[in-house]
Amino acid sequence: MSYSLGQLAEKVGGLVKGDKQLVIEKLGTLAKGTKNELSFLANPKYQSQLANTQAGAVLVKTEELAATLDNAIIVANPYLAFAQLTHLFVPQTESWQGVHPSAVIADNVTLGSNVVIGPNAVIDAGVIIGDDCVIGANSVVSCGCTLGQGTRLYPNVTFYHDVHVGAECIFHSGCIVGSDGFGFAPNNGEWEKIDQLGGVVIGDRVEIGSNTSIDRGAIENTQIGSGVKIDNQVQIAHNVVIGDNTAIAANAAIAGSAKIGAFCTISGCVGIVGHITITDHVHITAMSMVSKSIPEAGSYSSGMGMEPTSRWRRSVARFRRIDSMAKQITTLEKKINKLSEKVDV
């Protein structure tokens, strides 16, 4: 697939500097781009690469930057423009159309038009699959699930029963939606399982990374809002509610019944305890532990940033002495207060 530079500029609302007829066959980087590739400059620290790039054209923000290039597209947000253009160069990932002969589909399944179902996929009773959906090889969609128009399951995705998904969602390989929440009641030194009776409800345009798990609700549903983006290997526990357009990076873990607002960003390896509420527009930095509700928008951090090992060891040693130091300070304060009283007298 190929496009002229002018066609690409039109799709992102940009202005061409140079040859509008230049053929672009793929996207590339500044460092390794070739004459038929389009690259982009979004981060100023890579600006020095413009002088030596072999890319045929570059997405840039200003006319001044474009002036250093033979061919460019000037656009307000090069990174966003790059993201929009990636949709044009996605390769075809299925070598078949329609339902593969090896797929197992229950009698009372409802299939929309232009649905693709891959080899060895299993579609259970009562499932409703909307138009233009793709179910990858070896994926399982259990009874009572619904998938909105244009939703894609890559190979080896598993939906337990009663998972309801909106339109244009993406589920990457290995993710599991609707597994049982971690619910057990103590019983004379043993654990009595609490059957999870809720489901999972997911909005439109949600993307779930590979090997991420989203548990079903214990009684009510686990809820994922529209536009949410969840990275690989994230744990979403039962009855969690996530607001629209929140993004969650890899290895984050969210405990049961936590409520996260809209337009939040949860960085990698963040832990969030259960039964708390995080308001809208909160950013939590990497490896933070969120142990109480966050009622105000803003950026929040915990944990210790990296430093040389020798310095880190000294810091840890001091940290371990904080309790005794606090007691010493309290004692000193009392002595100072007594001395002050004597001086005042």
The full set of domain ranges for the chain reads: 3-89, 160-300, 312-344
Give whole-number Cα distances, 334 to 16, 162, 322, 330, 331, in Å. Answer: 73, 63, 18, 6, 5
In a 3-state reduction of DSSP, which class is residue 109?
Answer: coil
Q: What's the mean per-residue pLDDT of the chain?
A: 94
Active-site option among 100, 161, 172, 238? 238
Contact in structure between 1 and 88 (CB atoms under 8 Å): yes
One of 2.30.30.30, 2.160.10.10, 3.40.50.620, 2.60.40.10 is the CATH number of 160-300, namely 2.160.10.10
Strands 190-193 and 184-187: antiparallel
Split at pLDDT 50, 70, 90, the class of 57 is: very high
What is the average per-residue pLDDT within 37-47?
Answer: 92
Spell out the residues 6+ positions from residue 63 whose beta carbon is closer than 8 angstroms to its own: 17, 74
What's the residue count for the chain?
345
Helix/strand/coil percent split, the chain, to 5: 20, 30, 50
Strands 23-24 and 3-4: antiparallel
Contact in structure between 56 and 72 (CB atoms under 8 Å): no
Contact in structure between 265 and 283 (CB atoms under 8 Å): yes
Split at pLDDT 50, 70, 90, the class of 197 is: very high
Q: What percent of the chain has pLDDT over 90?
A: 84
Q: What's the pLDDT score for residue 344?
A: 63
Whether residue 307 has pLDDT greater than 60: yes
Whether residue 345 has pLDDT greater than 60: no
Sheet holding 72-74, edge to edge: 15-17, 72-74, 57-60, 37-40, 26-27
Beta bridge partners of 233: none
pLDDT tens figures, 262-297: 999 999 999 999 999 999 999 999 999 999 999 999
What is the H or E stretch that residue 16 is in?
A: strand 15-17
**What secondary structure letter does DSSP report for 39?**
E
Task: Give all strands (DSSP E) within 180-309, no chain letters.
Answer: 184-187, 190-193, 200-202, 207-208, 213-215, 222-224, 229-230, 235-236, 241-242, 247-248, 253-254, 259-260, 265-266, 271-272, 277-278, 282-284, 289-290, 298-300
pLDDT tens figures, 128-140: 999 999 999 999 9
In a 3-state reduction of DSSP, which class is residue 154?
Answer: coil
Radius of gyration in angstroms for the set of CA atoms belonging to the chain, rounded to a whole number: 27
Q: What is the domain class of 3-89 according to CATH? A: alpha beta
Q: Cα–chain-centroid distance for residue 315?
A: 33
Tell me, yes or no, if 87 is annotated catalytic.
no
